[in-house]
Amino acid sequence: MITKRELLQHWLGHRKLTRKTIEKFPEKELFEFSIGGMRPFSSLIKELISIDVPGLKEMVTGETGTFSHDLPLNTKEEILTRWDEDTIQIEEYFSQINEDQLHETLKLFGMYEFTIISHLLYFIDNEIHHRGQGFVYLRALGIEPPFFWDRY
């Protein structure tokens, strides 16, 4: 129903929208603003960064990876630069994923035991989920978020 290439293109479209969402935040609010005791948007993005490339790398190499959400990204520019670097790595690793192994179980980061396809869908869903939260932060700040359908 969905090919590997289509799923990658779908994800890359979402990454473009997430990038636009990061760009909409003022520098200070990206790192400090939050609602109801939640993490600021920069921390939600760092969560995505911390699992996406290391997770894909583990799927391809089979070597158990490590991850830390506490990344040394301290400005919007640093986050956007890392986002773009990771997009290139995501394209590279994704293309190396073996389609025959998609339904095999992988204990990602030595902790989360699901099929590879489930991990991939989780990565994308988790990005949509947190970005939706970023939209609320932006609205609370009086800033119009990007259009949800703008993946270009």
The residue ranges that bind its own copies (CB under 8 A) are 1-4, 6-7, 10, 14, 35-38, 99, 102, 117, 121-122, 125-126, 128-133, 135-142, 148-149
* Shortest spacing between CB 74 and its own copies, in angstroms: 24
Q: Do residues 145 and 52 make contact, with C-beta atoms less than 8 angstroms apart?
A: no
C-alpha to C-alpha distance for 151 and 82, rounded to whole angstroms: 19
C-alpha to C-alpha distance for 54 and 87, rounded to whole angstroms: 12
* Shortest spacing between CB 63 and its own copies, in angstroms: 23
Which C-beta is closer to its own copies: that of 35 or that of 88?
A: 35
* Shortest spacing between CB 72 and its own copies, in angstroms: 26
Which C-beta is closer to its own copies: that of 65 or that of 114?
A: 114
Which C-beta is closer to its own copies: that of 2 or that of 72?
A: 2
Rg (CA), the chain: 16
* Shortest spacing between CB 147 and its own copies, in angstroms: 12
C-alpha to C-alpha distance for 12 and 33, rounded to whole angstroms: 27
Strand ranges for 25-111 from DSSP E: 105-108
103 is in an annotated binding site: no
- Cα dist from 11 to 27, 34, 123, whole Å: 26, 26, 9
